Amino acid sequence: MLRRVPQILDALLDGVVVVDATGRVAHLNAEASRILETSTEAVSGRPIEQVAGASGFGKAVRSVLAGGAACVEHEIRVPRRFQGDLLVDAAVAPLSAEDGTIEGAVVGLSDLTRGAALREFDRERAGVAALGQIASGIAHEVRNPLGGIRGAAEILGKRSANERDRAAADLILREVDRIAALLDDFLVFGRAGEIKLAPVNLHRVLDDVLDLLAVDPLGARAHVERSFDPSIPELMADGDRLVQVFLNLGRNALEAMPDREGKLVITTRLRLDHRIDLGGGERVPTVGVDFDDDGCGIPESARERIATPFFTTKSHGTGLGLSLARHFVVQHGGTLTIESREGRGTRARVSLPLRRAP
Ligand SMILES: Nc1ncnc2c1ncn2[C@@H]1O[C@H](COP(=O)(O)OP(=O)(O)OP(=O)(O)O)[C@@H](O)[C@H]1O
Ligand SMILES: [Mg+2]
């Protein structure tokens, strides 16, 4: 049973770092590896200060090893290379032999940011479900009369003798079609779980999206850079939906650039440390796709609302782009997050579970 201790530690939601009596790292469980962006293999035998880095809980470990009492450091910041900083509580306790000599110390790391992110994710899912119900309701109530209006306008247009009346009937037709197209988009929220999974080459999907953007006048003057991780294998996903997701993110990035001149960097990364639970306890690694632009950014006051359907700051926007993108990503079991600095730029990050293609 004790042979399984590392496995047992990996099952914990908290990070665990075991240190020997000289302050050298002996073991990291999976969560600690995620938090500290490293692994037991990489840091075994290194002094704790090197692993704790700027977060500084190394000092607490030294004091415990020197005979001090167990202690908790609250809300310490762990700077990270690839993602935003984490806030963690670090609890340090001595490991004592029966005769009282200190053989080492254990650090428990509890990620406060993660709890907040999970709650946010739950809220998002609930929001998407509620939206689905509203969408089906609206579809039912609005679609039928729209059909009637269209038919009547067509008849009036054909029968009318003068040009002005025909133009008015045409206008009705065009506007009705516009509403119908909008409804089609909105209706997507009402259809739960309709994605079709098939083996997808993510980079091919992104290349297609970038080709589409390149021929669009919108993207003509922007500089697009690809930083693709070649180790990403084919994954099971809905390619058509992903095109829609990335097209919306790409368009938003280009539209945020003053005079459409700016830089859009698309980065893909296989993230073994960031796993998503697909249910049934299966935790799979994720693939991260970042759209980084150096456009206008999003003011603090708008940040909460950008993924709400119909929220737009553009004169010709529908405000459905981001909410649709998020809807499709959530249907894949993934997440879409937006980080932004006003005046500096925006990062839209899609994390997709890596379901292996057979
Ligand atoms: N990369 C970005 N940079 C700056 N602002 C953004 C970015 N992405 C989204 N936004 C803000 O979020 C709002 C909502 O985006 P969303 O894609 O949902 O709708 P839209 O782009 O306004 O319209 P649509 O996508 O339907 O044409 C935008 O109006 C804009 O204010
Ligand atoms: Mg948009």
* Whether residue 138 sits in one domain with residue 93: no
Q: Which atom of ligand 1 is nearest to the CA of 345?
A: 3
Q: Give 89's strand partners.
A: 110
* Whether residue 82 sits in one domain with residue 135: no
The CATH number for 291's domain is 3.30.565.10
**Distance of CA 234 from the midpoint of ligand 1 (Å):** 30
The CATH number for 164's domain is 1.10.287.130
Q: Whose CA is nearest to atom 17 of ligand 1?
A: 321
- Ligand at shortest distance from the CA of 336: 1
* Whether residue 286 sits in one domain with residue 160: no
Residues with CB under 6 A from ligand 1: 248, 252-253, 256, 293, 295-298, 302, 306, 311-314, 317-323, 346
* Whether residue 172 sits in one domain with residue 136: yes
Residue 190 · residue 136 · CB < 8 Å: yes
Residue 266 · residue 288 · CB < 8 Å: no
CB atoms within 10 A of CB 290: 19
Residue 188 · residue 248 · CB < 8 Å: no
Q: Whose CA is nearest to atom 7 of ligand 1?
A: 252
Residue 352 · residue 334 · CB < 8 Å: yes
Q: Which residue out of 185, 322, 337 has the highest number of ligand 1 atoms within 8 Å of its CB and is therefore the one to mutate?
A: 322
* Whether residue 256 sits in one domain with residue 185: no
* Whether residue 217 sits in one domain with residue 335: yes
* Whether residue 48 sits in one domain with residue 148: no
Rounded average pLDDT over 160-189:
86
Q: Is the pLDDT of residue 188 over 90?
A: no
Kindly list the distances between the CA atom of residue 178 and the CA atoms of 150, 165, 182, 184, in Å, as whole numbers in the listed order.
11, 20, 6, 10
**Distance of CA 326 from the midpoint of ligand 2 (Å):** 12
Whether 346 is in a domain gets the answer yes
* Whether residue 207 sits in one domain with residue 175: no
The CATH number for 42's domain is 3.30.450.20
Q: What per-residue confidence (pLDDT) applies to 191?
A: 65
Residue 254, Cα to own-chain centre: how many angstroms?
Answer: 19
Q: What per-residue confidence (pLDDT) applies to 248?
A: 95
Q: Which of 173, 190, 207 is the last residue of a domain?
A: 190
Separation between Cα atoms, residue 43 and residue 68, nearest integer Å: 25
Q: What per-residue confidence (pLDDT) applies to 18?
A: 95
pLDDT in tens, 70-99: 999 988 888 877 666 788 999 999 998 888
Q: Which of 74, 91, 114 is the last residue of a domain?
A: 114
Q: What per-residue confidence (pLDDT) applies to 214?
A: 87
What is the dihedral angle through the alpha carbons of 30, 35, 37, 43, rounded to the nearest 10 degrees?
-60
pTM above 0.85, yes or no: no
Whether 105 is in a domain gets the answer yes
Residue 342 · residue 184 · CB < 8 Å: no
Residue 91 · residue 107 · CB < 8 Å: yes
Whether 55 is in a domain gets the answer yes
* Whether residue 253 sits in one domain with residue 186: no
Reported confidence tier of residue 48, pLDDT bands at 50, 70, 90: very high
Q: How many domains does the chain have?
A: 3
Q: Which atom of ligand 1 is nearest to the CA of 293?
A: 1
* Whether residue 145 sits in one domain with residue 234: no
pLDDT in tens, 126-157: 766 677 777 777 777 788 888 889 999 999 99
Q: Which atom of ligand 1 is nearest to the CA of 312?
A: 29
Whether 149 is in a domain gets the answer yes
* Whether residue 135 sits in one domain with residue 60: no
Residue 311 · residue 131 · CB < 8 Å: no
**Distance of CA 328 from the midpoint of ligand 1 (Å):** 16
Q: Whose CA is nearest to atom 27 of ligand 1?
A: 317
Q: Which atom of ligand 1 is nearest to the CA of 253?
A: 1
* Whether residue 6 sits in one domain with residue 67: yes
**Distance of CA 298 from the midpoint of ligand 1 (Å):** 9
CA angle 256, 132, 120 (to 5 degrees): 60
| Segments forming the whole domain that contains residue 329 | 198-353
Whether 143 is in a domain gets the answer yes
Q: What per-residue confidence (pLDDT) applies to 319?
A: 87
> DSSP assignment, residue 197?
-
Q: Which residue out of 306, 320, 328, 337 has the highest number of ligand 1 atoms within 8 Å of its CB and is therefore the one to mutate?
A: 306
Q: What per-residue confidence (pLDDT) applies to 1?
A: 66
Kindly list the distances between the CA atom of residue 127 and the CA atoms of 120, 287, 308, 330, in Å, as whole numbers in the listed order.
10, 24, 9, 11
Q: Is the pLDDT of residue 104 over 90?
A: yes
Nearest to 264 by CA among 222, 307, 316, 305: 222
Q: List, edge to edge, every strand of the sheet that includes 102-111.
A: 25-28, 15-20, 102-111, 86-96, 71-78
Whether 286 is in a domain gets the answer yes
Q: Beta strands of the chain (E only): which ranges?
A: 15-20, 25-28, 71-78, 86-96, 102-111, 198-200, 223-227, 235-237, 263-277, 283-293, 335-341, 345-353
Reported confidence tier of residue 303, pLDDT bands at 50, 70, 90: confident
Whether 100 is in a domain gets the answer yes
Q: Which of 145, 164, 190 is the last residue of a domain?
A: 190
Whether 273 is in a domain gets the answer yes
